[in-house]
Amino acid sequence: MTGDYNMGRPFDVSKFRKDITKSIDGLSVGFNDPTDWISTGNYALNYLVSGDFHKGIPLGKVTVFAGESGAGKSYIASGNIIKAAQDQGIYVVLIDSENALDETWLQALKVDTGEDKLLKLNMAMLDDVAKTISTFMKDYRNMDAGERPKVLFVIDSLGMMMTPTELNQFDAGDMKGDMGRKAKALKALVMNCVNMFGSYNVGLVATNHTYQSQDMFDPDDKISGGQGFVYASSIVVAMKKLKLKTDADGVKTSQVHGIRAACKVMKTRYAKPFEGVQVEIPYETGMNPYSGLVDIFEKAGLLKKSGNRLEYTSKRTGEVIIEFRKNWVGEKLDTVMEDIALQGTALDTKEVVTDEQLVTDVIDMEKEVAEG
């Protein structure tokens, strides 16, 4: 580093900044607060992740949705988020490691699969993904600032990525695995993406697998790739699959009509972590963007029981709304969200579980296990 910083003279900040930006390639100066946000397709999940019902995940950061098979990870990451990004003019590079994302499925979720909006790459090697992102960022940095597009990388999924060692072992018929190197490679990939994307309008959303914890003192499911991978990510949402056994009118049935994606925000820099919500994804109609809002408003004490209905009093207008639970939809929920946004206060969505609720939850879980 060049420059003479004599402590007897006033410290010249501009000279110091100029010197270090010259000596360190790729260094950015100042704050890199997100300016672009992409909706998850669900208002409740948006709020728990970002603290705002209409934001969601930030561009310029790394977001991970982790969970068991069929928990709704791809639906949110490769469906809802890609569609929302395209609606905002963000170009999407979709890396499919599972060879499972069909064009007809993406189009059913209203994703534009044309190459002018979406580039789909089929890759299974972690090294290839790292090389692809690195090559892109080198070219991206060389563009004039005004010509750089907004870009979102989506990887579905990290858990299915392979290392060269795993491929060589397969070719040799010696399947010992390579978990140590794979965990380090995943961590390195995420860390490099965090460092490369921070100063630019480029982001990464990835899905990953979870496995059941064997620690009785820490029962939460563990995410493939180790803790280093989690530390390097900006937002981590853990997901579990539950059966949806209510019809369109909210009536309980014996049939399975879809899934309930139990989402728990394990890490976020923009809201309170460890908050959760259950989002319904019916097979026939897809995810309702309002799903889960009634639950978090009730937990926060905004919706109060009035007989067999729920009552809300607007502090902004004084309006009192009393409706059956199934009728709390659309404009009524918009009113509550508007009131919260204008008040500018965070919701306390920590659930207070009564003994009666606990017994009911245990019975429901036992039934689901018994029914398979």
Write the CATH number for 192.
Answer: 3.40.50.300
β pairing state of 304-306 and 309-313 = antiparallel
Backbone angles phi and psi of 84, in degrees to 5: -65, -40
**pLDDT at 2 exceeding the cut of 60:** no
For residues 42 and 294, is the Cβ–Cβ distance under 8 A?
no
The pLDDT, as a whole number, for residue 138 is 93
Q: Which tokens hold the place of 350?
A: 């920590």
What pLDDT was estimated at residue 47?
96
Residue appearing with tokens 């569609």 = 83
Domain that holds residue 251: 35-288
In a domain, 320, yes or no: no
SS3 200: coil
Ramachandran quadrant class, 174 (left: phi over 0; alpha: psi -120 to 50; beta: rest): beta
The DSSP symbol for 9 reads S
**Residue 99 scores a pLDDT above 80:** yes
Quick one: which H or E segment has residue 97? none
The answer as to whether 346 is a domain residue is no
Q: Position 232: which residue type?
A: A
In terms of pTM, does the model score above 0.75?
Answer: yes
For 162, other C-beta atoms within 10 Å of its C-beta total: 19
The total number of structural domains in the chain stands at 1
Domain for residue 372, yes or no?
no
Mean pLDDT of 16-23: 84
pLDDT for 321 beyond 70: yes
Whether residue 224 lies inside any domain: the answer is yes
Mean pLDDT on 22-42: 86
